[in-house]
Amino acid sequence: MGSSISLPFQLTKTLACALYEMQAISGVTPQYHVDTTINAKYNNFPTTLPASPPKIAYFGIGVNGFKNLNDQNLSAPYIPSAADLDLYQPLPFQIVPIGSDLTVAQRANYRMRVPITVGGQSYWAYYFKVLNFINNQVQIIQTNLTTGVETALSDFDPLNLTPTPGNTSAEGSTTSTIKTSVALTASLQITGAEVIEAINVLYGGNLLKSVISEIGIYLGNDQEVSMSDGVGGTFTGTEAIFSSLAYHYTSLGTSFGTPEQINNMGLRINSANAFLI
C-alpha cells in the first residue's frame, strides 16, 4: 500500500510566470492577458500595458494557506495550482484612512494601492511590498550536497568551451555531490505592525486571523501614474502595472501577535522555481 508525506509547506510556480518569462527570453510577439492581472482584480490601472516585460518585483501575504485535517490539531498546507492567479485570502500590508494616506517615503515600500470600505469607513489598502534583491545581481551558486555549504562563483569556466565528458556507469547514470544553479536572492520582511493593523480593520482585531500562511511573489513593472488622493485631488506616484502572481507559497503559518514582531526571510529564485531560505 502506498503512503504520502504531508509537507510543512507547498510552493508552486504559476502558468502566468512561465508564460511571461518565456516571452521575455524568446522575443516572440507577447500575449498580454489584461483581464487576469491583479490590477484587473482591483480595478487599479487594469488596462495599462507594461512598457517592458513584467519582472519579479513584489510580494504579498495571505491568511488561508492551510486546512485542519482533524480535531487533534493536525493540519496541512493547501497545494497551490499552477493556474492560481492570486492568493486564496490576501491580506494588505497597510490599511490607512482615506485622507490620512501614507507619506511619500512610506509609500516607496508598497504597491497595489486600492480603495476599500469596511464598516462604512473608507481606506487605502496596500497589497504589495517591494522585494529587496540582495547584491542586485544574478549569481552562480555551487552547493555541496554533502555539507550544504554554498559558494558563489564569480564566472563561468572558459575551459568548458571544450568540455570533457564525465564518468558514467554501465547504466548511463552519473553521480555528483555538487549542484550548480543560477539564482537571484531577495529579502522579505513582514512586521507585526503591518499584520495587526490589517487584522484590526478587517477582522475586528481577532488575532486568530493573524497567522500568515500564504506568501505570493508577483511579477509587474513600476510606472509613474496619476493617482487619486481620495478627497478630490490627484498626485503622481509609483504603482505596480500589469502585475501577476508568479509563485504561490503555502504553509502552516507564522502567528504575528505583537506589533514589535519582525520576520526576515530570504527568497531564492532560480530558473526552475523559487524557495524560502
Please report, rounded to a whole number, the percentage of residues in the chain having pLDDT higher than 90: 57
Residue 273: per-residue pLDDT: 64
Report CA torsion sign: 253, 254, 259, 262: negative
Concatenated DSSP letters of 201-222 = HHSTT-GGG-EEEEEEEEEEEE
User: What is the pLDDT confidence band of residue 146, given thresholds at 50, 70 and 90?
Assistant: confident
What integer is the mean pLDDT of 249-258?
92
Does residue 183 form part of some domain? no
From CA 89, how far away is CA 221, in angstroms rounded?
23
- In terms of DSSP H, where are the helices of 78-120? 104-107
Neighbouring C-beta atoms of residue 52, cutoff 10 Å = 7
Does residue 137 form part of some domain? no
> Could you tell me which residues are beta bridge partners of residue 264?
189
Task: Count structural domains, the chain.
Answer: 1
- Residue 271, pLDDT above cutoff 90: no
Look at the block and give the residue holding cell 487576469: 36
Look at the block and give the residue holding cell 482584480: 41
Residue 173: per-residue pLDDT: 56
From CA 198, how far away is CA 205, in angstroms rounded?
8
Length of the chain: 277
90-91 and 55-62: which strand pairing?
A: antiparallel
Does residue 119 form part of some domain? no
Provide the 3-class DSSP secondary structure of residue 137: coil
User: What is the pLDDT confidence band of residue 5, given thresholds at 50, 70 and 90?
Assistant: very low
Express each pLDDT in 180-213 by its tens digit: 777 778 889 999 999 999 999 999 999 988 999 9
Higher pLDDT pick, 44 / 146: 44
What integer is the mean pLDDT of 74-82?
90
With beta carbons less than 8 A apart as the criterion, state whether 148 and 114 touch.
no
- Residue 6, pLDDT above cutoff 80: no
Does residue 153 form part of some domain? no
User: What is the pLDDT confidence band of residue 272, given thresholds at 50, 70 and 90?
Assistant: low
Express each pLDDT in 81-131 by its tens digit: 999 999 999 999 999 999 999 999 999 999 999 999 999 999 999 999 999
Express each pLDDT in 8-40 by its tens digit: 888 899 999 999 989 888 888 888 999 999 999
Residue 52, domain extent: 9-93+191-266
User: What is the pLDDT confidence band of residue 263, given thresholds at 50, 70 and 90?
Assistant: very high
From CA 211, how far away is CA 3, in angstroms rounded?
29
Does residue 14 form part of some domain? yes
With beta carbons less than 8 A apart as the criterion, state whether 230 and 122 touch.
yes
Residue 145: per-residue pLDDT: 76
> How many alpha carbons lie under 13 Å from residue 155 in its C-beta half-sphere?
4
Please report, rounded to a whole number, the percentage of residues in the chain having pLDDT higher than 70: 91
pTM of this prediction? 0.87
Does residue 144 form part of some domain? no
Does residue 235 form part of some domain? yes
Does residue 166 form part of some domain? no
User: Across the chain, what does the average pLDDT equal?
Assistant: 87
Look at the block and give the residue holding cell 502595472: 241
- Residue 274, pLDDT above cutoff 70: no
Residue 277: per-residue pLDDT: 67
